Amino acid sequence: MKDMLKKLDETVEFLKSKIDFAPEIAIILGSGLGKLADFIKDAKVIPYEDIPNFPETTVAGHEGKLIFGTINNRKVVAMKGRFHYYEGNEMGAVVYPIRVFKRLGIENLIVTNAAGGVNTSFKPGDLMLITDHISLFCENPLRGENIDDLGPRFPDMTVAYDRNLRTLALESAGRLGVDLKSGVYSYCKGPSYESPAEIKALRNLGADAVGMSTVPETITARHMGMRVLGISCITNMAAGILDQPLNHAEVMETGKRVEKMFSALVSDIIENWR
């Protein structure tokens, strides 16, 4: 475990040598939601492959870069391209960047994702503020010897998604006229989409949306005491709700359709961050 801290320190030292400011907020840009990167001023772009100890991107053609800069005068770093478990990454690799962010001194994390709508009152294109998550189907990223320097053995998840940040997000949505839904995000491993029976089961468990990311990152951030804000883009109705098969093209199309609204929302949230 000393090894892990050493690796993190190497990564952090490298990043500090490349930037001359300390970001306040880290943002994970979900698939199809990369437009926010265009809002980043004075951007300093660092490809993942240049960063010591950073996981390798396994998917050909997948963008992978950290973008340091400012949004509305707030110093941020955005991850364009995240590491998914379904790509074959170990959980330690999936959450490595989050640990790097914390050791860079960042206390705030915004996680975004594309998700299937499980709540039948949702429609594709809706944005959903994550109020809580279901991690039951997720290998826990904290499994193994605890790294006491990062956080406690048994971290609390009672309020994983910060209440004040949720209020802030709802205020921003109100200002912009965005009908921001709220709900519970359930993790599934993927890469196959869920079956209709699984979606029915998830709904009975209390899920409003389902996706293949975010939960490992949130657990890891909470382990280290970071504040987390999560927003899903409902890109499609989950399996079995509509009489049609799911496909990745629909997910990407919906992401593209709403990415302007989504970017405006996150930008306003960052402007009013407190």
Q: Which positions lie near ligand HPA, rule CB under 6 A? A: 114-116, 188, 193-194, 210-212, 235-236, 238, 246, 251
Beta strands in the chain (DSSP E): 25-29, 41-47, 65-71, 74-80, 108-117, 127-134, 181-187, 209-211, 227-237
Q: Is 72 a catalytic residue?
A: no
**Residue closer to ligand HPA (CB basis): 219 or 224:** 219
Q: Which of 72, 182, 248, 272 is catalytic?
A: 248
Q: Burial, 215: exposed, middle or buried (Cβ in 10 Å; 0-12, 13-18, 19+)?
A: buried
Query: How far is Cα 1 from Cα 70, in angstroms, rounded to an integer?
Result: 34
**Residue closer to ligand HPA (CB basis): 51 or 207:** 207
**Residue closer to ligand HPA (CB basis): 8 or 199:** 199
Tell me how far, at minimum, the Cβ of 204 lies from ligand HPA, in Å: 17
**Residue closer to ligand HPA (CB basis): 5 or 252:** 252
Q: Is 236 a catalytic residue?
A: yes
Tell me how far, at minimum, the Cβ of 144 lies from ligand HPA, in Å: 26
Q: Is 128 a catalytic residue?
A: no
**Is residue 122 a contact partner of residue 128, using CB atoms and an 8 Å limit?**
yes
Q: Is 212 a catalytic residue?
A: yes
Q: Which residue is nearest to ligand HPA (CB)?
A: 116
Number of H helices, E strands in the chain: 6, 9
Q: Is 133 a catalytic residue?
A: no
Q: Which of 48, 85, 87, 89 is catalytic?
A: 87
Q: Which of 4, 53, 62, 272 is catalytic?
A: 62
**Is residue 157 a contact partner of residue 219, using CB atoms and an 8 Å limit?**
yes
Q: Which residues are catalytically annotated?
A: 31, 62, 84, 86-87, 114, 212-213, 236, 248
